A and B are shown apart, each in its own frame.
Chain A
């Protein structure tokens, strides 16, 4: 069996194990270990399994994961979302569809301190769904806005998914965070546009809320200013080299705790739950990365990524079409599995290929993050859709999905713009902002 055949067999077995409900991280460990045994020998496989688990778990770089997850969980438990929502409502709530747009805007702001789409959807849904019900918003629009708005949790930095991609590919976490900001903002703007377009076409979808004065609008910012300052300070600190990403995560967590204590919104019970949620999530993430590293060693041993890159160099197909093919794989993969899981297992395969084709690695990382995030609002996995279903059990899942469909053009336009104008991403990094 040639090394390439071994790699393909390994990927097939990986998919089978995943379909048989083996956790993605453990499936990657298993295939990586067995693959190395087959491709090299048992001693190599055993040594890599043992040393990689220790190296990954014990690396300083990996400590960034629990700290940023902690920052998001503290923010989640301090009820900062209510302030963000109320502030956004004061600014755009008086327009038709304003509450749904408010939900997206508040999700964008919450995404700035929380790196998870699930947490953003759950938090925002708890606040926004009852209010939208009170104002007689259409169920599909309300649920769709919460579910799709939740995806901004990973589109606006800090994002756990981007941290993992950066760790896997040796890209700068700070640069990747900064680079994804335009993509996240574009997506948020298009989502808000989708709300207003839908409400302009059907006036019953989202009635306008009460009007507010400029004084009320400005006063409302008082409740969110510290949180947004914390975000700006953490991002700027990392990008300008004041501190490492790990220090940024620690500073952000401590800052979120301090804000919660000063505003008397962080209780002992909330703190405990934030800690427990953090260790659970970050352990899952760290194991995923360690599994992906072992799998990556096997794929590197078989030279599959290099073989693919060499093949692309020889075939007479424009690199754009190869990129399109890779994008289709990410769209399908993002729909069928969790974004984080799919990215960790696919990055070792596709990243070298993309680099070999001459594409910018940071641009590609942001692009695939956007694409796989889209999977959170599509069946059959659709994490954000199911979270909304959990919050509004009486609304049929088809209605929630229908609501999400209204926002899909926002994703399509954003992805198309990122492909057509890579400068949106590369420009901000090279400008050194």
Chain B
């Protein structure tokens, strides 16, 4: 879908802003919103550019920087923390060779920390794009990353 097609699905009302941004971001293989995207949305909804920028930067799910093919979101909330998420995070940083909020050089993975994703029963947990992975251990996480690497080829 082109950006224009996405915009045309929505009425020119300010309360559609978040959903338009969601759709445009999901439509981008690098999972982010570009400067042109924000300008186009602002023009469509007749809002100041600065306003759209202010809204887009408030919510965790939007990114203004290109991200990897796989966005890893590790839950850092107290429940997962109690069940060992720190070890998982340390392992991911080691395996991927990047810091939190960064993307690997091959543009495959972005590592982010997130707040509770509501799957506390299998803590520690993480999401890779829309898929949930739970009962994580440093070993398991290494395997999952390798699996994803193979999948992407």
Q: Do A and B bind each other?
A: no
Write the residues of chain A forming the contact surface with B, with a CB cutoff of 8 angstroms. none
